[in-house]
Amino acid sequence: MPAHQEVISNFIYYMRLHIDNSGQAFEFYVAPALRVKNSHFNNGSFIPDIVIKKDGNSWNQPVIIVEISRTRGYLSDIKKVKKALKNIRSLKEGFVFNYETGEGCRISKPDFDEEDGESYSAILDFDLKECLR
């Protein structure tokens, strides 16, 4: 789906720009659609749309994941992100954005609440809503 890939591309571009401009270029790495191995998922892994890891960690130890969603898959993506946060120790924040409506939410530890309309990443010190263009 071109719109989905386009939004993912924008997110990666603007996240990298922020990371570079804020002097964190060697601290965080961003990649699309990487397989994250974890035994709590079907087939032992899952593939978030965007994975962010800290330097020195493997891609199986992300600190942030982002799901880019449509209205139809939004709630199931929220469930997937919650499950990842509960089962991956390194993961601190998860975001889901609906590119059809512009709405999004943040899910973070320790409470795993869906914070509707919240798109600020404390880890990156960046509002991810800036990536929705």
- The structural domain count of the chain equals 1
The two beta strands, 50-54 and 126-127, are unpaired
pLDDT at 78: 96
Whole-number pLDDT of residue 42 = 83
Across the range 106-114, mean pLDDT stands at 91
- Output the six-digit token pair for 43: 């087939």
Residue where the block lists tokens 């010190």: 125
Two structure tokens written together for 72:
């139809």
Query: What is the rounded average pLDDT of the residues 5-18?
Result: 95
- Rounded Cα gap, residues 97 and 77, in angstroms: 9
* pTM of the predicted structure, to 2 decimals: 0.94
Helices (H) and strands (E) counted in the chain, each on its own, are 2, 10
Q: Residue 124 above 70 pLDDT?
A: yes
CATH number of the domain bearing residue 43: 3.90.1570.20
pLDDT tens digits, 15-63: 999 999 999 999 999 999 999 998 888 888 889 999 999 999 999 999 9
- Show the tokens assigned to 130: 């800036």
- The pLDDT, as a whole number, for residue 95 is 97
**How buried is residue 88: exposed, middle or buried, by Cβ count under 10 Å (0-12/13-18/19+)?**
buried
Q: Using alpha carbons, list the distances in angstroms from residue 10 to 18, 55, 128, 132.
A: 12, 22, 11, 7
Per-residue pLDDT tens for 67-89? Answer: 999 999 999 999 999 999 999 99
Containing structural domain, residue 64: 2-131
Residues 103-112 have a mean pLDDT of: 92
